[in-house]
Amino acid sequence: MRNILVTGGAGFIGSNFVRLVLAQQPDCLIVNVDKLTYAGNLENLEGFLDNPTHVFVKADINDGKIIEQLIDKYKIETIINFAAESHVDRSISEPKVFIETNVTGTLTLLEAARDKKIQKFVQISTDEVYGELGETGKFTEQTPLSPNSPYSASKTSADLLVRAFGHTFGLNYNITRCSNNYGPYQFPEKMIPLMINNALNDKPLPVYGDGLNVRDWIHVEDHCQAIWKVLVEGKPSEIYNIGSSNEKTNLEVVKTILDAVGKPHSLITFVKDRPGHDRRYAIDSSKINSQLGWKAKTNFAQGIKSTIDWYLQNKKWLANVTSGNYQQYYQQMYGNR
């Protein structure tokens, strides 16, 4: 039996991870701590909310007392920290909460992990800590940290705290740095689900700048399999880049989505660029590939098709998550478009 504390498990990647582990590892107990911010949703846990090996707890990772109580009560052996404010645009308009959750929240978890002698702490980080690339090259684990947005700066700070807890207190940790994820249950503020949602509703698709920024897309299930591999086989204090070698310009992705749902390219609307917009990300995953034997399985053409199908089949989920404050957010970001 492995007893795992997962934080942020009601968000996009966390919920996909919990679903995968519960399906593949019947001897695991997952305690899922999530504050349920706008990005966290109990509907993401459909099908396993009442599973006997899954315990959901609504709490903030900054609440060290609750975290320690849960570690004791459920004899937690490992912590995987997905909980974060995760959207770059929001970090530009309201950076403070990114520090509170991504930095102070991670520190709170690290203190609990140290004090309760947790066997392993896995920090779910991002390739955005490396900054941006020019037209060539890829991020390796040796690429200097050079975050450009308040979001990536907060994630970098968290990574450095994790490293320091390893060095100073002997905490056993791994850090994973993955590229852009897509797949089911992603909140439609991120590019792919936002564009799918707009295309389905015949709304303009807001492309920032010239649309030629490049992201290296990975299907969320591949990311989750890699995290499991790192949890079980990752060597102490190691950092693993995770990617799928799927570089696409934003325009290419948007056109693929429009073609898949049978909507005209005339819906594409170029809007003001994001301040400080990183031009290109690309991940070198050769370390996790050679050392842990992990490789992404989903190619982009299949993955985007199944993802679009999922959103088509889950219009109620889309409608629910885009009710309430979403309209206000959308209006602030994109005006009446």
Catalytic residues: 127-128, 151
Rounded-to-integer distance, Cα 194 and Cα 321, Å: 12
Smallest distance, ligand TYD to C-beta of residue 74, A = 33
Q: Which stretch binds ligand TYD (CB under 6 A): 102-110, 205-213, 235-243, 321-329?
A: 205-213
DSSP reduced 3-state for 40 = coil
Smallest distance, ligand NAD to C-beta of residue 264, A = 28
Task: Decide if residue 258 touches ligand TYD (CB under 6 A).
Answer: no
Residue, CB closest to ligand NAD: 11
Residue 20 gets which letter from DSSP? H
Smallest distance, ligand TYD to C-beta of residue 257, A = 12
Question: 191-198, long-range: CB within 8 Å, 24+ apart, which pairs?
Answer: 191/215, 191/250, 191/253, 192/217, 192/253, 192/257, 192/304, 192/307, 193/311, 193/318, 195/253, 195/254, 195/257, 196/257, 196/261, 196/307, 196/308, 196/311, 197/311, 197/318, 197/322, 198/267
Rounded-to-integer distance, Cα 241 and Cα 139, Å: 8
The item of ligand TYD, ligand NAD, none sharing an interface with residue 11, based on CB under 5 to 8 Å by kind, is ligand NAD
Half-sphere exposure of 14 (CA within 13 A, CB side): 37
Q: Report the residue from 208, 310, 326, 329 that binds ligand TYD according to the rule CB under 6 A.
A: 208
The item of ligand TYD, ligand NAD, none sharing an interface with residue 250, based on CB under 5 to 8 Å by kind, is ligand TYD
The item of ligand TYD, ligand NAD, none sharing an interface with residue 288, based on CB under 5 to 8 Å by kind, is none
The tokens describing 220, both together, are 């969320």
Smallest distance, ligand NAD to C-beta of residue 157, A = 12
Q: Report the residue from 14, 206, 243, 303 that binds ligand TYD according to the rule CB under 6 A.
A: 206
Q: Hey, which residues between 84 and 123 contact ligand TYD (CB under 6 A)?
A: 88
Task: Decide if residue 59 touches ligand TYD (CB under 6 A).
Answer: no
Rounded-to-integer distance, Cα 197 and Cα 233, Å: 38
Q: Report the residue from 138, 177, 190, 248 that binds ligand TYD according to the rule CB under 6 A.
A: 190
Q: Report the residue from 106, 125, 143, 250 that binds ligand TYD according to the rule CB under 6 A.
A: 250
The tokens describing 82, both together, are 């997905």
Specify whether the CB–CB gap between 38 and 62 falls below 8 A.
Answer: no
Rounded-to-integer distance, Cα 271 and Cα 213, Å: 14
**Interface residue list for ligand TYD (CB under 6 A):** 88, 180, 190-191, 194, 206-208, 213, 215, 250, 274
